């Protein structure tokens, strides 16, 4: 009797990578493989890599070594952005058996047979400019929420970024496929979907490689704001120049889309934004933030920012710091600039020393904590709809409000994977909002997001 082969996944990087890992894992399961945790002994280890920062490349090697320790005779498969950018380099790392590029990674099961009688690493990778198809992906690993890919690739040419060379040009899923995937996700009992992609505001471009604009991001949002068995929808990250006021207006009245935006800034200095080849200046960004806050009460706004970009003087950094301090935002994702091969920025002069980069990063992370605390304080004593998760974490159940406040309350299995009106009481020593359920007629009231708006 042939034993069932086991496969384990480890994913580095963005939520888009996690979404694709989930889809690829399902293809293994459908072909008779058993999924297991990466810490367990497996026959195949699949590492989905990132290459946004130098640290992501280093993490990959640590993960590979962990797989080799778990089972020295297993086959190790590498996919993802790093695999597309540097397949030959990866194949020379001891322990790597198969490297698949962006066009091949979704067919990883088909390459398994090739590993049986081959002692040398195999590489299957095409030129990124040859990629025209679009692969649908969604995650259902978490019963509470799911990430749904609606767009891939990017046509922007930011000077620090490797993503266009790792994922190709901007292309999108069809509305029909997206709605079909939402139905599949909803059938699993998932309550929230997060729309994700590389540049989702560019949705509609290059649908299946035909490079025609069949629909827009606004069209997508309007179409999805209809009851399809999902209680709430969340948008991941949208470029400020693509976040049109009509989108903000629509979300302010939406039944399903929650009051939460994540909008990359990268720098508060127009000089640095120009060097980065970003498609906006700080004045447009400020206008967007102010417009959102005028239109939507209690909205949560997250911001991406990069520190230590080549040419960033102390004056440029202080301009960024004070610009962010002045904005009505809720939290920051701070990235310390790291040189990436084959980017324009890697060839620029006026390099910022790494100790200065780290110092600036610490300052912005401190500012982020202050912004987050101020936002949480503004929500005290209010009642928000919380989607509670399914895990008992040290006697607590955690969840997120519609406007992305992370809360916890004493463990109660009746709350698991339910949308519950909760009163936000106080912020505990670990930075969580403590919440208590709102009880009516001695029963916890479960409500939909649209109910709350009504």
Diameter of the chain by CA atoms? Answer: 70
Residues 73 and 122 grouped into a single domain: yes
Residues 247 and 268 grouped into a single domain: no
Q: Which pLDDT tens digit goes with each residue over 378-407? A: 999 999 999 999 889 999 999 999 999 999
**Alpha helices, DSSP H, located in 380-447:** none
pTM of the model: 0.91
- State the Cα–Cα distance between residues 438 and 436, nearest whole angstrom: 6
Residues 323 and 402 grouped into a single domain: no
Q: Which helix (H) or strand (E) holds 360?
A: helix 354-379
118 has a pLDDT exceeding 90: no
Last residue of a domain, one of 333, 355, 379: 379
Q: What are the strands of the beta sheet with 300-307, ordered from one edge?
A: 260-266, 300-307, 331-336
Q: How many helices (H) and strands (E) does the chain have?
A: 14, 21
Residues 303 and 372 grouped into a single domain: yes
Give me 188's structure tokens: 């699993």
150 has a pLDDT exceeding 80: yes
Q: Is residue 240 part of a domain?
A: yes
Residue 299 belongs to domain with CATH number: 3.30.750.200
Residues 254 and 156 grouped into a single domain: yes
Helix (H, G, I), strand (E, B) or coil at 277: coil
Predicted pLDDT of residue 445: 39
Q: Is residue 163 part of a domain?
A: yes
Half-sphere exposure of 445 (CA within 13 A, CB side): 15
Q: Which pLDDT tens digit goes with each residue over 42-80? A: 999 999 998 866 777 778 889 999 999 999 999 999 999
The percentage of the chain sitting over the pLDDT mark of 70, rounded to a whole number, equals: 93
Residues 80 and 55 grouped into a single domain: yes
Residues 135 and 229 grouped into a single domain: yes
Q: How confident is the model at residue 106 (pLDDT cuts 50, 70, 90)?
A: very high
Half-sphere exposure of 258 (CA within 13 A, CB side): 30
Mean pLDDT over 200-229 rounds to 81
Q: How confident is the model at residue 454 (pLDDT cuts 50, 70, 90)?
A: very low
pLDDT winner (highest mean) among 117-121, 386-390, 435-439: 386-390
Look at the alpha carbons of 184, 190, 193, 194 in this order and tell me if their dihedral is positive or negative: negative
Predicted pLDDT of residue 211: 58
Q: Is residue 1 part of a domain?
A: no
Q: Is residue 331 part of a domain?
A: yes
Predicted pLDDT of residue 48: 95
Give me 417's structure tokens: 């994977």
181 has a pLDDT exceeding 80: yes
451 has a pLDDT exceeding 80: no
Residues 137 and 254 grouped into a single domain: yes
Residues 313 and 394 grouped into a single domain: no
φ, ψ for residue 357 (rounded to 5)? Answer: -60, -45
Q: Is residue 34 part of a domain?
A: yes
Q: How confident is the model at residue 443 (pLDDT cuts 50, 70, 90)?
A: very low
Mean pLDDT over 328-347 rounds to 95
Q: How confident is the model at residue 439 (pLDDT cuts 50, 70, 90)?
A: low
For the chain, what is the mean pLDDT?
90
Q: Is residue 105 part of a domain?
A: yes
Count of beta carbons in the 10 Å neighbourhood of residue 439: 11
Q: Is residue 448 part of a domain?
A: yes
207 has a pLDDT exceeding 60: no
Q: Which pLDDT tens digit goes with each residue over 265-297? A: 999 999 999 999 999 999 999 999 999 999 999
Predicted pLDDT of residue 1: 45
Last residue of a domain, one of 379, 407, 438: 379
Residues 141 and 244 grouped into a single domain: yes
More confident residue, 4 or 159: 159
Q: How confident is the model at residue 177 (pLDDT cuts 50, 70, 90)?
A: very high
Last residue of a domain, one of 331, 346, 379: 379
- State the Cα–Cα distance between residues 183 and 203, nearest whole angstrom: 20
- State the Cα–Cα distance between residues 73 and 60, nearest whole angstrom: 19
Q: How many domains does the chain have?
A: 4
Residues 254 and 270 grouped into a single domain: no
Contact partners, residue 242, CB within 8 Å, separation at least 6: 199, 201, 202, 217
Q: How confident is the model at residue 105 (pLDDT cuts 50, 70, 90)?
A: very high
Predicted pLDDT of residue 332: 98
**Least confident residue range of 160-164, 214-218, 372-376:** 214-218
Contact partners, residue 302, CB within 8 Å, separation at least 6: 260, 261, 262, 263, 329, 330, 331, 332, 333, 404
Annotate 169-190 with b (16+ C-beta within 10 A) or e (fewer). bbbbbbbeebeebbeebbeeeb
Residue 135: give the domain boundaries: 129-258
Residues 267 and 314 grouped into a single domain: yes
Give me 73's structure tokens: 């005779």
Predicted pLDDT of residue 213: 55
**Least confident residue range of 98-102, 159-163, 436-440:** 436-440
């Amino acid at each position: 009797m042939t034993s069932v082969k086991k496969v384990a996944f480890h994913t580095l990087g963005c939520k888009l990578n996690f979404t694709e890992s989930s889809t690829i894992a399902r293809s293994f399961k459908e072909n008779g493989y058993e999924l297991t945790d990466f810490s367990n002994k497996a026959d195949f280890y699949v590492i989905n890599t990132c290459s946004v920062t130098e640290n992501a490349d280093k993490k990959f090697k640590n993960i590979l070594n962990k797989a080799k320790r778990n089972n020295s005779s297993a086959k190790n498969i590498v996919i993802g952005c790093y695999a597309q950018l540097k397949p030959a380099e990866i194949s020379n790392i001891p322990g790597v058996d198969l490297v698949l590029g962006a066009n091949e990674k979704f067919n990883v099961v088909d390459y398994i047979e090739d590993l049986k009688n081959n002692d040398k690493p195999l590489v299957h990778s095409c030129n990124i400019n040859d990629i025209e198809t679009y692969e649908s992906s969604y995650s259902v690993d978490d019963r509470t929420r799911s990430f749904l890919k609606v767009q891939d690739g990017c046509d922007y040419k930011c000077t620090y970024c490797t993503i266009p060379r790792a994922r190709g040009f901007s292309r999108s899923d069809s509305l029909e496929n997206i709605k079909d995937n939402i139905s599949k996700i909803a059938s699993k009992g998932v309550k929230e979907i997060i729309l994700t992609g590389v540049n989702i505001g560019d949705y509609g471009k290059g649908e299946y490689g035909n490079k025609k604009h069949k629909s827009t991001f606004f069209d997508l949002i309007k179409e999805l704001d209809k009851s399809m068995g999902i209680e709430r929808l969340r948008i991941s990250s949208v470029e400020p120049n693509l976040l049109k006021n009509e989108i903000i207006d629509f979300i302010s009245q939406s039944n399903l889309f929650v009051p939460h935006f994540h909008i990359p800034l990268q720098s508060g200095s127009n000089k640095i934004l120009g060097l980065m080849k970003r498609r906006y200046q700080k004045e447009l960004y400020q206008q967007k933030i102010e417009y959102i806050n005028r239109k939507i009460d209690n909205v949560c706004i997250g911001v991406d920012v990069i520190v230590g970009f080549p040419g960033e003087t102390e004056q440029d950094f202080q301009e960024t710091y004070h610009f962010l301090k002045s904005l009505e935002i809720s939290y920051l994702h701070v990235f310390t600039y790291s040189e990436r091969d084959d980017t324009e920025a890697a060839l620029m002069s006026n390099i910022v020393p790494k100790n200065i980069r780290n110092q600036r990063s610490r300052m912005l992370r401190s500012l982020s904590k202050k912004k987050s605390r101020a936002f949480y304080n503004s929500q005290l004593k209010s009642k928000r709809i919380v989607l509670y998760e399914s895990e008992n974490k040290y006697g607590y159940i955690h969840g997120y409000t519609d406007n992305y406040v992370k809360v916890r309350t004493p463990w109660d299995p009746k709350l698991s994977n339910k949308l519950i009106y909760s009163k936000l009481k106080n912020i505990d020593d670990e930075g969580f909002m403590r919440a208590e359920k709102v009880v009516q007629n001695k029963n916890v009231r479960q409500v939909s997001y649209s109910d709350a708006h009504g």
